[in-house]
Structure 1
Amino acid sequence: MTPIQKNAAILFADISGSTALYDKLGNKLALQLVTRTLEILTMEVTARQGTLIKTIGDAILCTFPNAADAVNAACAMHSTIEGQSPGGELPIHVRIGLHYGDIIYEGGDTYGDAVNIAARVTALTRARQIMTTRAVVDRLPEKMQKHARSVMRTGFRGKEETFDVYQIVWDPEDTMNTRVGMSAYRKPAEPRHELMLQYHQKLITLNEDTKQAVLGRGQGCDLMIRNILASRQHATIEYNFGKFLLMDHSVNGTYIRFGDDQIIQLNHQQIFLHGAGTISLGQSFSESPTDVIEYILQ
């Protein structure tokens, strides 16, 4: 497919505190809750001329033809989540980051600096907030610009220029409208997240600098597993928003045994890793597999 280059509004919506959900509810219930919440967010995207690009664990990436549609969708996402309460008595909140710029569509995905900036803005955002850049605010109708409040000017890794960051106030009763996720705004600095993966004598580490590992039987995999039940490119692990997402692409499934001995089987599904545990490609733990991957999240 020929790449398509165009300007668009990019929106990331991320479920806040999802790691705590997995710890509190267990993997199966938390995954059901996350899936239900993402379905609600996706409905708001399609209702406002948006395009869902992909789901990234407990977050979605989508695009809109203009800034106004993107901001309206972001406001609707917050309102609908709070109105429908997908977690029941357990409150579920999302954080949303927006940017507008030049992107490339190719192979069902989207690329470009604008996507990276939108992700960085989302990383600054707290639960129940919408953060965006001047590129979005300048393209809003005047009546919508009145809901944008300048918060800070900041730089992003890999970019020489600095960016004005704004908050879109969607809830008039919000008392946290001047706080963002940076140490300058009373939030402690984020720890350095690292995931260590060990298979026999080979050890690899994923972090902010090395964001992806491919697991499987193929020669080009970062961890090449000597098990005929493993697919050539069986699974990937990606670093997103400070979390590590395992995605199964295989025929025989991926099995994860967490530190509490709970076992989850993935079949073309995905889940965030937490704590420490063991991963088996294509072979259940009831069969006492020997070709397993040990992991620990620091």
Structure 2
Amino acid sequence: MSNESAAIMFSDVSGSSRLFKEVGDAEARAIISKVVSMMMDKTQAQNGTVIKTIGDEVMASFPTAQAALNAATDIQKDIDTRYYGAPLTIRIGFHFGPIIEEAGDVYGEAVNDAADLVKIAKGGQIITSEQTRQALPPESQDKLEVFDKIRLKGGKKTAVIYIAEWEDDQESNATMFMAAVNTEIAAAIEARSLQIEYEDQNITLSKNDVPFTIGRGADVDLTIECNMASRSHCTIDYRRGKFVLVDKSTNGTYLAADGREPLYLRREETPLMSTGTISFSPEIDEPGPHRMRYIC
């Protein structure tokens, strides 16, 4: 019997029960066997020791937290890029702490905490602890993000747990780039406006100015001089980054985006795109108080 500290890691194939139902016992066992062999190989390549396998799970020990993180990263990258006969993911939990070695098996705090952490992880995730983070060099600590605060079995206090980033820098940079692009798109949508030109009036609407009501009555936002128009003829709303024309009239509304055929709406709605004309009579091409221009 010996007492020392080590990193204990559990790597578990996620979704294996579904695999057995989908492909049958024989093929599922063959696929799982290949994946388990891969996890063992990646473990040993990082100076790890396979303690035992339990079905589709591998329990291993490593002399350092860094070695465990390296193995976990290698396992995730392999299952992410190789096809073993079915789409699979792996969940991993590891913890660095005191262990007791006896008769080829290990016991102790690190084992119990690692077993808890792998249960928290989902497919494609690597979950570890604050104690493990402190045992890693600064450059590896930077790859960990706070995931949650929990109470591990046997723990008296809640502890911070972390998720490890294992994607290549190129993939991470692509993710960051897309996040930046999406932020720019969202900002552009937020700043979007609609300009309406009616007679001698020029009105600019933002998403904060809707619903904007148009009609022949006196209690609307824009009163139009057209006998075919209803008192509350239509409304301009803003939904999902678009201005939308909503007809509520008796006779309907005519809409023509520049370069396109007119569209007739009656108790219907459509997004306003580009530049065009809104008319409250069929004479959409004829100038007069029955029509207005819009610019998105």
TM-score range (shorter-chain normalised) is 0.5 to 0.7
Q: Which of 35, 38, 43 is the equivalent residue of 1:37? A: 35
Q: Which residue of 2 aligns with 1:21?
A: 19
Q: Which of 105, 119, 123 is the equivalent residue of 2:119? A: 123
Deviation string, structure 1 residues 207-235 (Cα, Å, up to 9, x no partner): xxxxxxxxxxxxxxxxxxxxxxxxxxxxx
Q: Which of 91, 98, 103 is the equivalent residue of 1:95? A: 91
Q: Which residue of 2 aligns with 1:81?
A: 79
Q: Which of 1, 4, 7 is the equivalent residue of 1:9? A: 7
Q: Which of 46, 49, 69 is the equivalent residue of 2:47? A: 49
- Give the drift of 1:33: 0.7
Deviation string, structure 1 residues 233-262 (Cα, Å, up to 9, x no partner): xxxxxxxxxxxxxxxxxxxxxxxxxxxxxx
Runs of 4+ off more than 4 Å: 172-175
- Give the drift of 1:74: 0.4
Q: Is residue 144 from structure 1 mapped to residue 140 from structure 2 by the alignment? A: yes
Cα distance in 2 for residues equivalent to 1:26 and 1:125:
26
Q: What is the count of residue pairs matched by the alignment? A: 171
- Give the drift of 1:105: 1.1
- Give the drift of 1:48: 0.6
What is the identity, as a one-letter code, of the residue corresponding to 2:10? F
- Give the drift of 1:160: 1.7
Look up the SS of the partner of 1:85 in the other structure: coil
Q: Is residue 109 from structure 1 mapped to residue 87 from structure 2 by the alignment? A: no
Cα distance in 1 for residues equivalent to 2:132 and 2:153:
20
- Give the drift of 1:158: 3.5
Q: TM-score, normalised by structure 1?
A: 0.55
Deviation string, structure 1 residues 101-130 (Cα, Å, up to 9, x no partner): 001111111111210110101100011110
Deviation string, structure 1 residues 134-159 (Cα, Å, up to 9, x no partner): 11111111111111001111112343
Cα distance in 1 for residues equivalent to 2:152 and 2:143:
24
Identity %: 35
| Structure 1 residues not aligned, in runs of 5+ | 176-298
Q: Which residue of 2 aligns with 1:195?
A: none
Q: Which residue of 2 aligns with 1:68?
A: 66
What is the identity, as a one-letter code, of the residue corresponding to 1:156? L
Q: Which residue of 2 aligns with 1:191?
A: none
Cα distance in 1 for residues equivalent to 2:72 and 2:17:
22
Cα distance in 1 for residues equivalent to 2:2 and 2:17:
36
Q: Is residue 133 from structure 1 mapped to residue 129 from structure 2 by the alignment? A: yes
Q: Which of 141, 157, 166 is the equivalent residue of 1:161? A: 157
Look up the SS of the partner of 1:11 in the other structure: strand
- Give the drift of 1:162: 2.0
- Give the drift of 1:83: 2.4
Q: Which residue of 1 aligns with 2:188?
A: none
Higher helix share: 2
* Structure number with bigger Rg: 2
Look up the SS of the partner of 1:105 in the other structure: strand
The answer to whether the Cα contact below 8 Å between 2:113 and 2:153 also exists between their aligned partners in 1 is no
What is the identity, as a one-letter code, of the residue corresponding to 1:28? A
The answer to whether the Cα contact below 8 Å between 2:151 and 2:157 also exists between their aligned partners in 1 is yes
Q: Which residue of 2 aligns with 1:203?
A: none
- Cα 1:155–1:39 change in 2 (3 A) is same
Look up the SS of the partner of 1:116 in the other structure: helix
Look up the SS of the partner of 1:102 in the other structure: strand
Cα distance in 2 for residues equivalent to 1:62 and 1:163:
23
Look up the SS of the partner of 2:4 in the other structure: strand
Cα distance in 1 for residues equivalent to 2:49 and 2:117:
20
